[in-house]
Amino acid sequence: MKIATWNVNSLNVRLPQVLRWLDEQQPDVLALQELKLEQDRFPLAAIQAAGYHAVWNGQKTYNGVAILSKLPAHNTIPDLPAFDDPQKRVLAADVGDVRIVCVYCVNGEAVGSEKYAYKERWFSALHEYMQTILQQHSKVVLLGDFNVAPSNIDVYDPEKWRDKILCSVPEREWFGRLLAAGLTDSLHHLDPNTAHYTWWDYRMNMFKRKLGLRIDHILVSEALVACLQQAHVDTHARAWERPSDHAPVWAEFDCHQA
């Protein structure tokens, strides 16, 4: 089973790239973030024509998440149930026997800002939510744009980014609490000593200069770690025309061999 995540930074703009990537990679599940589309504007017909089902949680101009899957998704729950928030950042659904939780985590703007405090509250609510899900399901994937680079190897210039947003010590601790709840960072698990980036600022030719951050992650429960085969960042999609500033990330599992 191949499960992927991609912050597309406007599905309206990036739909051709998404369809191209689906055709090329044929994932079983693709979680999308930053749809930037109202609920009734989702391009369902195009996604279905590509051979995928879809559930989504849309919002005009900002945010929005979706789960595309070859099998129909069931038991869909939008948002964080115990966190009153108008921003559409979370969508959970069952695909087969796997509970998929797609997240577009809060950016936080700047350390110490009001949005940073909101990010802390939001991550706390996500942690509580995932504790419940991990108690209810054995096969769980939490994936998306976390807006956290978990360690210095995930940052092109750790000193420059020290204590800055996405890389501050508290943010890394919030991410660490998710891991401590019973999740494993799939890419880091398979390749802990290599620098991988998933986001590059559009400015200053950051992608061409290979100056990025790894902030998009696929976290998996213990039952899926046992059958994790591969994890990869498709950086070539970041080089396509009119790209998102993020690249797709995918992990592949063979639970029949576990």
**How are beta strands 29-33 and 2-7 bridged, if at all?**
parallel
Q: Which residues contact 93 (CB under 8 A, 6 or more apart)?
A: 55, 67, 69, 73, 74, 75, 76, 77, 99, 100
Residue 103 contacts residue 5 (beta carbons within 8 Å): no
Helices (H), the chain: 11-25, 44-49, 114-136, 158-161, 169-180, 186-190, 222-225
Task: Decide: helix, strand or coil at residue 187.
Answer: helix
Asked about 145 being catalytic, the answer comes back as yes
- Among residues 145, 185, 216, 245, the one annotated as catalytic is 145
Asked about 104 being catalytic, the answer comes back as yes
- Among residues 28, 94, 104, 129, the one annotated as catalytic is 104
Distance of CA 58 to the CA centre of its chain: 16
Q: Helix 114-136 vs helix 169-180: angle between axes, to the nearest 10 degrees?
A: 10
Residue 47 contacts residue 74 (beta carbons within 8 Å): no
Catalytic residue ranges: 104, 145
